[in-house]
Every structure is written in C-alpha cells, then in structure tokens.
Structure 1
Amino acid sequence: MTITTLARAPTTPRVARTNIRAPSARRASSAVARADRDGVIFALDFDGVVCDSVGESSLSAWKHGVELWPEVFDTPEATTAKPRVLEELRAVRPVVETGYENTTLARALLEKLDGYGVEDILNEWDQISGGLMQRWGLDRATMVEAFGRIRDDWIEEDFDGWLEPNALYPGVAEAVKRAQARSDAAVKIVTTKQGRFALAIMERMGGLVIPEEDMFSTTVSGIPKTDVLRTFGTEGKWRKIFVEDKLSTLEKVCKADDLNEWELYLVNWGYNTPEERARANANPRIKVIGVDAFINMLEAA
C-alpha cells in the first residue's frame, strides 16, 4: 500500500504536555451514552491501524539515543550507520508496544549486538527485550518520560518536521469520520502512544478530531488494553469491535472469558508479519481484514 501524506491545516497548535487520563467505567459509559441504544462500539488501535508512524518513532528514538548515549550515537560512525538502523527499525516494528522501546532497539541494532539481529528480535523479543533494559540500567518510567520529552521538544522546535514522518493510512481517517457521524456508533482510540501525540497527528494530518474522552492512552498508566475494553459498553447492549495490528494483543483478549463479546480484527496493513497473519487466520476468534473491508465495516457494521 502506498502511504500518502494528507493536507495539513495552516496553523501550528501547541501540543499540551499533559497525559490522557486513565480510563474509568463512569467516563466510558457516559461517552457511549451519546449514541443510540444497541449500537456499535469501534475500539481502534492507533499506530499500525490509523497511522503509519514508524518513521517518526524511529527518528525520535535516534534523537533520544543521541541524548542518552552521545558517545554511541553522536559519532561519525553512527551517522554513517543511521540509514541502516532506521531501515532495520522499520523491519522490527511489529514487536514494539511502546515508543521508548525503539531507543533500546536502535542501540542494539547500531552496535550489532550478538543475539539482537532483525530476525532474533522478530522471533524472540519477548525473551530478550528485558535484557537490554538491564544491560544499560534503564527503567520503564524514566524511558517513557524521556521519550515523550524528546517528542515534545521536537514539536516545539519544528512541528511540521515532526508531523512529516507520520502518515494516516489512505481512506482510514475518512472512514472514522463517517463512523463518528453515525447516530448508532461510538469510536474509541485505544493506544500505547501518549495521547497528545496521537490527537495532534489525527487532527493535523487528516482533519480527524477525537474528543479527549474517546482517547485511551495506556503508556503512562500501564493499564492493559484488555482492562480498557472492559470499561466500554457497561450499560445497554452493544456490538463491540476491536481492531488491532498487534496479534499478541488480540490473543490476550481471546484468553479473557469476560471479553468474549468482542469481535476481533487484525489489519493486514499494519505492523505485523506474514507468520502472524497466518496464525490469526487459524484463530476462530480473529479475522484478518483489509483496508477496504475495514472502511466498509466502519460505515455499515
């Protein structure tokens, strides 16, 4: 699929350095209540479903690396290797759940650490990811804060430059807008990205405005997406549809008996591998969906 950058508005809004609040049953119920009874709830992942953000996240990781380890990243040798590292970060993007992981991956790939080649990362990330954090004495909370600050600084210095590597998948923003306009539908964005960044990208790159109460960011809170889904549609009877590009997230939903009412879709244009799509096709709970079917579903499900 060819990714195109959509037109931007002429102004440059500041992105508030506040985090989207953790979900609560009361807040989710009030948001859903805006739609008619017995409607449909669309819970959509952001990166890999709505937005192709790997270019920006990789460049932010490189900037973070320069700040964190200048002796490694701020050298002529590193500058020469940068195009290779950025290409390999795109290749391993299917394993990334939270942005700061790109920073540790960037260093592992830059230094060509033994056991951390592209195939090693794709096949064994769950087993080897913690080793990088321990190796360099890092903790999650500090990395999340620092990675967000790197983005904030980039936005303040060059908002258009930060937006440029982000692209909304063709047709997706328009489909979400049409779903928002339906009287029988509610659209939620459930993402591991810090909410303020996702909101800015959608508004500027696609004219897509998501109310803050419909944005659920799990990065700072650490609340799993399974728990977020539990807060939706607690009153009334709703058709519930969850769309992801990360198979492991959908498989976690499959294991939760109290989430059996959710229809699960894995997009075929996001950050997943052919092997993962084959595994999804073998799972009776999960359907692999293309962009045309996704657009039709948001308009008519």
Structure 2
Amino acid sequence: MAAVGLLGVRPARATGRLERQARASPDAAAKVRWPWAFEQVDAAMEEWIVEQMHTLRPVIETGYENLLLVRLLVEIQIPSARKSSVADGLSIQEILDNWSKLLPTLMDEWQEDRESLVDLFGRVRDDWLENDLSGWIGANRFYPGTADALKLSSSELYIVTTKQSRFTGALLKELAGVDFPSERIYGLGTGPKVKVLQQLQEMPQHQGLTLHFVEDRLATLKNVIKEPALDKWNLYLVKWGYNTQEEREEAGAISRIQLIDLPDFSKQLK
C-alpha cells in the first residue's frame, strides 16, 4: 500500500508500504492508450523500460502516472515517437529530480487528462484480475513479515492509499490472507491524504487515542507537517518502499519524522 494510517492507544506503532507492485499494468495500459508509440519497441527495450521504472518508481504518487513515465521512456529512446519537448537528452536522474514539473508539461503537450488515465489504468488492471487473477496476485509480493503483522495487530488500523480500494482489498485478501474491513480502506478518490487524516482524527471513537501515520513518500509527510490541525499525528517514513536514500537522509533531519525499518515495523505492529 502507498501509505497506511494507524490509529491506536499504544505508542510507537507503525505501518507503511506493504507490497511490491506488479509492473505489467502500466506497460499494458500505455500500449492501449498510445499503440503507435510502441511500434518500434522490441523485447530488449521493454526490459530496459522495466529496469528504469524500478528506479523511477519513488516519484510516482498515483498509479496513472506510471503510464506517462512509460511513454516518456519510449520517447527518450525513439526520436520518431516524440511528441513532447522534454524527452530529447533527458536523463533518468533528471526525471527523478524534476518529475513534479515534467508531469504537467507532459499532460499538456500530450493533451491528456487525469481522469481518463486513471480510468484506463483501473480498467486494464480489472481485466487482468478477471482473466488471470492468480497471475495478477502472483506478480505482487508483500514485504516479509508485514502480512503476519497485520493479522496479529491489536491496534485499530486504517489504510490510506493512492491505490484504488478494490485492488487494495484484493491484494490483502488473496495474497496476505487478511480480510481487511473495506470501510477502513481510504483509496484513490477519497481525497488527499491530509484530508483523510483530518477526517480520521475527528471521528468521535478516536478521541484520546495516540495517532500514528506511516508513509513511504517524504513529500506526503511534509504536506502533513504543513497542516497545524494535524500536529497530533506521530509521523514515520519507512526505510523500504518507494523512497530514495537522499529522501531518507532529509527525513532524518526533520524532528517531526521518525525513520522506521521493516523489522521494527513488523514487531511493533504485532
């Protein structure tokens, strides 16, 4: 999961990204959206794209952005496929450093809209689930210990993720064997994470509890810090998942944020 908000009475609880995501959905969805751009993409280039996507994944906030990254990588490699002004000479490091600026430029120059891409990404994944559920489940992996930690947790857990809720529930049930209450999954479309955290802390049943929010994106934690109304939340950045060493070092210098590794997460959640 992109993030899990944790509410509980016990201190130092933590959650975070639980699973490694499959790669086939963004590739397949990008080919559906822009088939002409992939006419010259051979097996070797597809493998290169997959490798670069692993490197670039920390910049992604919402799944549909993967489609744009895949197409951008194609444009970097194939000049005849270029429709953007930024692909020529663009390096992987420059994408990592400037994705928040590149994203709106690509959306504008490719004349795309967010909702259409979100819908396509979801439909392609739905088709995969319907036609090959075991294949889709098998393409994902939970980080060791996280599934057992969820099963044994005595804390009140909420999952706050940019993944669509139905996919989150399917992964938990089919891959981890966790029948997580759907009403406690706040997925794509439920609003920004800062708004969801505010909703959770204002619920009557959560008054007086110690609040913990664990995330694998530093930018999200910074957004929480900017909101004075969310000062009650204890914030954690996981040392695994989709962040870089530079981001972890930056987080270590922010007094509000605690770094947590996978073994400690699993132990504390249990």
1:91 aligned onto 2:62: no
Alignment map for 1:183-222 (pairs within 5 Å): 185-217=155-187, 219-221=188-190
Offset, 1:42: 6.5
Secondary structure of 2:41's aligned partner: helix
1:82 aligned onto 2:46: yes
Secondary structure of 2:242's aligned partner: coil
Flag the 1:116–1:140 CA change in 2: closer, same or farther, 3 A. Answer: farther
CA contact (8 A) 1:266 1:289 kept: yes
Aligned alpha-carbon RMSD (Å)? 2.0
Gaps of 5+ in 1: 1-31
CA contact (8 A) 1:41 1:186 kept: no
1:130 aligned onto 2:101: no
Under a length normalisation based on structure 1, what TM-score does the superposition of the two structures give? 0.79
| CA–CA separation in structure 2 for the residues paired with 1:258 and 1:44 | 21
Match of 1:145 among 116, 119, 126: 119
| CA–CA separation in structure 2 for the residues paired with 1:252 and 1:245 | 13
Residue identity opposite 1:130 in structure 2: P
Identity of aligned residues (%): 37
1:68 aligned onto 2:68: no
Flag the 1:211–1:41 CA change in 2: closer, same or farther, 3 A. Answer: farther
| CA–CA separation in structure 2 for the residues paired with 1:78 and 1:252 | 41
Flag the 1:140–1:149 CA change in 2: closer, same or farther, 3 A. Answer: same
| CA–CA separation in structure 2 for the residues paired with 1:115 and 1:211 | 47
| CA–CA separation in structure 1 for the residues paired with 2:50 and 2:133 | 21
4+ aligned runs moved over 4 Å, structure 1: 38-45
| CA–CA separation in structure 1 for the residues paired with 2:12 and 2:253 | 25
CA contact (8 A) 1:43 1:188 kept: no
Under a length normalisation based on structure 2, what TM-score does the superposition of the two structures give? 0.88
Secondary structure of 1:99's aligned partner: coil
CA contact (8 A) 2:14 2:269 kept: no
1:161 aligned onto 2:132: no
Partner of 1:261: 232
CA contact (8 A) 1:247 1:276 kept: yes
Partner of 2:80: none
| CA–CA separation in structure 2 for the residues paired with 1:220 and 1:140 | 12
Partner of 1:114: 88
| CA–CA separation in structure 1 for the residues paired with 2:30 and 2:53 | 13
CA contact (8 A) 1:188 1:216 kept: yes
Gaps of 5+ in 2: 1-6, 77-86
Count of residues in Structure 1 that have an aligned counterpart in Structure 2: 252
| CA–CA separation in structure 1 for the residues paired with 2:45 and 2:65 | 19
Secondary structure of 2:200's aligned partner: coil
Partner of 2:20: 52
